[in-house]
Structure formats: structure tokens, C-alpha cells
Amino acid sequence: YQYLSRYKRKEDFDHFLFIPGRTERTKKECLKLLLELYGRHNPSWTELNNFILFLNFQLSECEKSIVCSPAVGKEFQGV
């Protein structure tokens, strides 16, 4: 949710880092945003769960990547 809410608000991710366990909104607001960004009308719980698992994996790998590190980010701001 932390990434998705910032994505929707068109915020910069360059200085953002996911904080596990951090709650920003209610579960209802989180589900509403997930359904909005998923892009399919009336998805099943399985589809939504797979979407969440995919996002979690991709975002975790991105955070581990040297390409997305703050040191490299200074060299490629806005890219």
C-alpha cells in the first residue's frame, strides 16, 4: 500500500523506502486502492492475491537492486 498510494499521488520514489508493518490507512482504503489499480472489473480473491504477491516480489527485488540504490539515484535523477 505504501508504494501504491504514493504512485497514485504521483510522488517521487527516489527517497522512499518501504517500512514493513507501517500502517498508513485502513484495510478498507487499502482494498479500494488495490481494486482501483488492478485494472480488472470484479476480480476474484485469487486474482487479487496473485497481483499482490507479484507486486511484493517486484518491489522487494527493486529495493535490493543496486540500480535503485540512493547512490546510483543521485547520478540518474528523474530517469
- Predicted pLDDT at 43: 92
Distances (CA, A) of 67 to 32, 56, 70, 74: 31, 18, 9, 11
Q: Please count the structural domains in the chain.
A: 1
Tens-place pLDDT, residues 14-66: 777 777 888 888 889 989 998 988 888 899 999 999 999 998 898 888 878 87
Note down the domain range covering 43: 1-75
Identity of the amino acid at 16: F
